[in-house]
Chains A and B, each alone.
Chain A
Amino acid sequence: MYELICIGASWGGLQAIGRLLSDLPDEIDPPIVFAQHRHPHTPERTLAELLQLRINRPVVDAADKMPIEPRHVYLAPPDYHLLVQRGSFALSVDERVQYARPSIDVLFESAAYAYGRSVIGIVLTGANEDGAAGLALIKRRGGVAVIQDPGDAARRTMPDAAIAATAADAILPLEEIGKFVYGLCVEPAQVRETTGA
């Protein structure tokens, strides 16, 4: 069973995440954590409010030690790294990674350590290489690596770097990622039902 979905995006990410989230049916349980590169002084709540207009599940800015709950969407706050531990978040103000804070690598690495095989990592559009190392670690620790098709991305540098860093489970145009993730999240249950376990 997948317990956490981590998504990273940079340039063009706001459009992409809106589409992806609205493609994910409400019954998908795993919490979704999203790291989007943004300016340190971005007005706090705008991104959460914008996304909330499009989907039913609650969208919140992650805070230190906040418990991670099913069906929620959590956003990495500007100017902090967001890390996950089992069941809760941790923040850090350590140096920028790949010029970014929040860094997608930092989020993904922490998710890979805390959740191992039950993480789905998704790298979307972006104009730098953040996320590639983190996605590779998710994959190495048994999780699932999904990458937006570079040809389909607003900026292809980030998906290209992720593809070079790891053997992705799926490289898909944006509009198919939601369906793919949905399949991952519902299928194990169906397997269990049909085997009568």
Chain B
Amino acid sequence: MTDLLEVKALEVKYRTKAGVLTALRDINFSMRPGEILGVVGESGCGKSTIAGAVMRLLPLNGWISKGQVFLKGKDLVQTHPEELRSLRGRELSMVFQDAMTSLKPVFTIESQMLDILRAHNPGSNREELKKRALAMIQRVGIPDGEQRIKDFPHQFSGGMRQRIIIAMALMANPALLIADEPTSALDVTLEAQILELLRGLRGEYGTAILYISHDLGVIAQLCDQAIVMYAGNIVERGESKTLFDNPRHPYTQALLAAHPSQKRHLARLLSIPGRVPSLKDLPIGCKFADRCNFAEQVCYRSEPDYLQPEEGHFVLCHHLVGEHAESFHLPDLKENNLPKTITPAINRVPSKLVEAQELRTYFMDRKNILDQLIGRKSGFLPAVNGVDLDIQRGETVGLVGESGSGKTTLGKTLLRLVNSSGGKIRFEGQDITTLSEKSVRPMRARMQMIFQDPFSSLSPRMKVSDLLLEPFRIQKIRVDPKQKVAELLEMVGLAAEQADKYAHELSGGQARRVGFARALALNPEFLVADEPTSGLDVSVAASVLNLLKDLREKLGLTYLIITHNLNVIGFIANRVGVMYLGCLVELGPTDEIFEHPAHPYTEALLMSISDPDPTQRDKRADRVLVKGEIPSPRHPPSGCPFHPRCRYADQMCAKEIPTATLVNEGHITVCFHPTSIGKG
């Protein structure tokens, strides 16, 4: 079979203030029709530049300086822009990460789709085209397609918008679809749905997909072939089965080792030291040498060539790592032969640190003056709706759920950052629910929060040193400023020079560490960490997780970790709470939740995880995907709130609200059918 896309010795350059930078070097790959090729790597490695180069949609300061891109034998680099325009959409199509900005906000979905169809089918019947648009919308799984096609983009949720974008991209039946991180902003459940959709569409239309993602799991689940990018080079390329089973490049191996999936019993994740070199000053030899465990003299001196351990498997390295296996301390993925982490909760006398009883947080709608005058009742949004949760001293509780399930609000309510509307919060047995703000103030030192967005939680007008001294100034504690700042920076693994920087001069991982240091400054006992790894590259996320674990051991902290990433929870938490529409639907020890989930929502979340292990894909060919999306807490479904999306639901579920039942010691589920989970 001939290749659909063939990229030969591609080189892309950018003109920037710092001079001309080479963003891609010597890129070679090819795709057969109907094949899915994954491109993976950390940020700044050139993944999106590949997409831009193939589409010939590079930013204005970028250009292809060398090489060819053949699509069906036609060199796109030499093609006239007018001709390219007619190819785009018909032969080549693209889906971007941000679905909202990719849709025109002032036109209905239908009119936007008709625009595309008319451009590619001049002179066709309007009714005919309308039918085709509708068929496509229904194919990508938009419920009530006939009505909804007349809606505007803002009336759809994020997942639906991404489906619409995919529908539009596939409308002219292109031979190649380029998808640039299309699911990065979505929940795991929706991500799994979209991946399923893409796979289905590929089977139906025979569209080849070039899929770009930073998530190894997604790539392993979806792709036939995979490319690993590092600093503008392809460092490894091959069949995704071979590549993930037997990675030969140290970078690929390190990325896999840093991924927190299936590492529930590991003490630490491997984190890659250093960071991706800036294109401004690339090292002379192998670009990865500085961070490589087996770099030798030759690696620093000369650039490696591609080695070919198997047919179709290319590795940009001086040595094949197999030869060095004994010197490489990779945690074994298959057998968990490392010692289990000690769970501090077991070693100490259990005492409740934080308790929530029937906790409720409602957000009232803002009333305008007119409504106030006529006494109209304001609506409310129940973000947290009756949660019972005890957290023992020294324990780590993970809180998972899709966006909009009320995880962050629960965390903030426990810390009295948001006022509760009902129920009780106790801290060390003391009821703090109704304490005045003044009396809570001294207690705040003992319970701290790490915010989701590291940059927005650091004041832009303060230096790191000032940020770290704020806690002491506020609580009026005298400290030696220099020594304290140095101490705190060291604790979170930052260099002392960082003290003089402003927040915007830090990288994402560094900013997060500063957030940790500030939260830990006053020696708190209870720490709420909101999405501690979101927005970080795999290797950085791994080091942040290690840090959290180390600090817990060293300082005896109690954590509530809020995340939508189950892998993170599995790695760090002793107990897991699963939230859905403001309620805790399941709570239990981590191992038990992962191995024997007793709530259909938990089961669905677990099934949606993308492991970087392609063999899992075939096992899960018929995996249970949760249907639809999380409804608005404003209008919760009747009975069990999860029943419309549940595959076990029966008539009772729609009528009555289930109560908490004990499945096992310390394992609670809120479901009528806990025993049938995992058996159907």
Indicate, yes or no, whether A interacts with B. no
